[in-house]
């Protein structure tokens, strides 16, 4: 079983091959003895507070209680001191740091002013407490004492007190009267634990540091729950933060400041989770418009349940006509000042809508944008990360200049918050197959100002339903595929803002050039030349 290690930011990441075990045991060496420091069902782990100096580790794969595979031993070396922090209720911060074998004490240094770091406090244990100052910088140095005084043995990098904290924890009724618990955590974590109040046994645990929800069953609505964030260390899990007890909430809703449009088609197996994640938004005045595109399963039954139980959920039905037409029905009925989009198998993080809304309002922008997560069996990857400063207004030309250039191909519809008046004037093209590709350049050409946030909020889930409609399209015959792509390109060239015509043509040529690289069809190059000359035919 292959095993790899990577030391990153004073922590170690251990990875191994998946051998389809029930779980894996991670062993680290201490004082020439190997001991189990973690047990997980993933194929990698990050460990904090590793002892200074040389170390060694290996992994066992366990299935049906038996060791089925064991990795070779892997050596590593730490030459810095790792530090983690937790904020205490009395406005104190406690720093924990790596052990240095043989050290007689640890000295905490604080960056005082232009004169640099000054000694603040000594400790003879592996933690030290001080007043919490958010922007203060610190160092930790282990030492021994000799005739000359202290002799320092090593040092940490410069660090700040991390305010690891739960910004919100909410519980809502979910379909079939189960509960949906969601949390918004800011800080460093390797995973989370969920406990009923006054219980020492977690009902849920995850090593997914980006997880933000849990579907609860078999508990009364009066039960309170606590969420804890943890880091993995050689000595087990270290709790970095604990939420206040949360109980079933009654959502406050006054008016639709933002409308979130969800097109739905035969989504009975996953749409409840998507709606739940939208209901868990910390933005109170969120209207959730769900449009059923002629589903033949129980999708409408689920939507009706949410429509009945939540004032801010709007249920609409139509004959099957495709995603673009379905989104347009949602746009027509949306009442918010802003509009966002979500697919029926994806998730949004609790602070997505509020963060984008606040940035758009603050900067007086027509559109607010953020990166998104793509989720597969291999984990999370970030997409749509743009080279702009955070939370400042930009002229839309800056966005159009880089659209479909290398590294910025993705034109996702869901990672944005749009001013509703612009969207209502320029809906999606009817009958479009590549609706995102066709509409995004078009709508952005009518925007004057946009702003960008660097935090991914939207979760494009390719794990729950790996094959999307785009994947189905990609399997079409080459001639048919070209016609769909041509239709998408010419839609925004023809329907985009006339004052941005040259931008629309350039963006279309960039996209077509990318398609041409993966195809032997000469029609792509021909269309590029026709668009460049302005002599193309729409049909």
Contact 121, 62 (CB under 8 A): no
Contact 11, 81 (CB under 8 A): no
Residue 427's SS3 state is: coil
Sheet holding 338-341, edge to edge: 313-318, 286-293, 258-264, 338-341, 416-419, 367-369, 449-452, 394-395
Residues in contact with 135: Cβ distance below 8 Å, sequence separation at least 6, in sequence order: 160
Task: Check residue 473 and give its pLDDT.
Answer: 57
Segments of the chain with pLDDT less than 50 = none
Distance separating alpha carbons of residues 520 and 507, to the nearest angstrom: 21
What's the topology of domain 83-160? Answer: Immunoglobulin-like (2.60.40)
Task: Check residue 388 and give its pLDDT.
Answer: 96
Structure-token match 């406090």, residue found: 121
- Model pTM? 0.93
CATH number of this structure's domain 3-78: 2.60.40.10
Ranges of each domain in the chain: 3-78, 83-160, 171-185+195-242, 258-461, 476-533
Distance separating alpha carbons of residues 489 and 509, to the nearest angstrom: 9
Residue 38's SS3 state is: strand
Task: Check residue 539 and give its pLDDT.
Answer: 57
pLDDT digits (tens, 9 = 90+) for 112-140: 777 789 999 999 999 999 999 988 999 99
Distance separating alpha carbons of residues 444 and 423, to the nearest angstrom: 10
Distance separating alpha carbons of residues 291 and 304, to the nearest angstrom: 11
Task: Check residue 1 and give its pLDDT.
Answer: 86
Task: Check residue 163 and give its pLDDT.
Answer: 84
Tell me whether the CATH fold assigned to 83-160 matches the one assigned to 258-461.
Answer: no
Does the structural domain 258-461 have CATH classification 3.90.550.10? yes
């Amino acid at each position: 079983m292959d095993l790899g290690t990577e030391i990153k930011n004073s922590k170690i990441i251990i990875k191994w091959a998946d051998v389809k075990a029930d779980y894996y045991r991670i062993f680290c060496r201490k004082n020439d003895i190997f001991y189990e420091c973690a047990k997980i069902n993933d194929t990698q782990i990050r460990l904090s507070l590793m002892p200074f100096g040389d170390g060694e580790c290996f992994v066992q794969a366990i299935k049906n209680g038996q060791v089925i595979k064991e990795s070779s031993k892997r050596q590593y070396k730490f030459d810095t001191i790792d530090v983690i922090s937790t904020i205490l209720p009395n406005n104190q911060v406690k720093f924990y740091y790596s052990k240095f074998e043989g050290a007689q004490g640890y000295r905490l240094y604080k960056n005082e002013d232009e004169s640099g770091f000054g000694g603040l406090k000594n400790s003879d244990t592996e933690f030290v407490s001080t007043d919490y100052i958010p922007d203060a910088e610190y160092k930790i140095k282990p030492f021994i004492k000799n005739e000359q005084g202290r002799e320092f043995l090593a040092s940490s990098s410069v660090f700040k007190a991390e305010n690891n904290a739960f910004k919100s924890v909410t519980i809502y009724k979910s379909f079939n009267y189960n509960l949906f618990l969601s949390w918004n955590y800011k800080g460093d974590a390797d995973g989370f634990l969920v406990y009923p109040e006054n219980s020492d046994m977690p009902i849920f645990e995850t090593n997914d540091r980006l997880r933000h929800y849990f579907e609860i069953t078999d508990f009364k609505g009066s039960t309170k729950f606590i969420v804890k964030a943890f880091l993995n260390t050689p000595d087990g899990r270290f709790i970095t933060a604990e939420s206040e007890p949360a109980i079933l909430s009654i959502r406050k809703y006054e008016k639709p400041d933002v409308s979130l449009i969800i097109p739905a088609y035969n989504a009975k197996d996953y749409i409840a989770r998507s709606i739940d994640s939208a209901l868990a938004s910390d933005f109170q005045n969120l209207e959730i418009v769900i449009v059923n595109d002629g589903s033949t399963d129980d999708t409408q039954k689920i939507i009706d349940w949410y429509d009945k139980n939540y004032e801010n959920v709007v249920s609409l039905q139509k004959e099957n006509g495709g995603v673009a037409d379905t989104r347009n029905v949602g746009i027509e009925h949306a009442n918010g000042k802003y509009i966002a989009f979500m697919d029926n198998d994806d998730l949004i993080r609790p602070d997505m809508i509020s963060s984008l809304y606040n940035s758009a309002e603050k900067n007086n922008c027509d559109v607010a944008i953020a990166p998104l997560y793509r989720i597969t069996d291999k984990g999370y990857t970030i997409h749509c990360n743009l080279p702009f400063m955070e939370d400042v207004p930009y002229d839309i030309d800056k966005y159009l200049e880089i659209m479909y250039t290398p590294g910025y191909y993705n034109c996702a519809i869901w990672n944005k918050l749009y001013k509703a008046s612009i969207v209502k004037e320029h809906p999606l093209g009817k009958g479009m197959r590549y609706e995102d590709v066709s509409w995004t350049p078009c709508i952005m050409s009518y925007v004057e100002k946009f702003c960008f946030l660097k935090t991914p909020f939207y979760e494009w889930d390719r794990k729950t339903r790996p094959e999307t409609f785009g994947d189905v399209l990609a399997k079409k015959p080459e001639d048919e595929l070209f016609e769909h792509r041509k239709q998408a390109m010419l839609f925004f060239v023809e329907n985009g803002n006339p004052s941005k015509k040259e931008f629309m043509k350039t963006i279309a040529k960039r996209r077509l050039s990318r398609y041409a690289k993966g195809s032997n069809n000469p029609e792509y190059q021909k269309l590029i030349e026709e668009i460049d000359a302005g002599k193309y035919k729409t049909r």
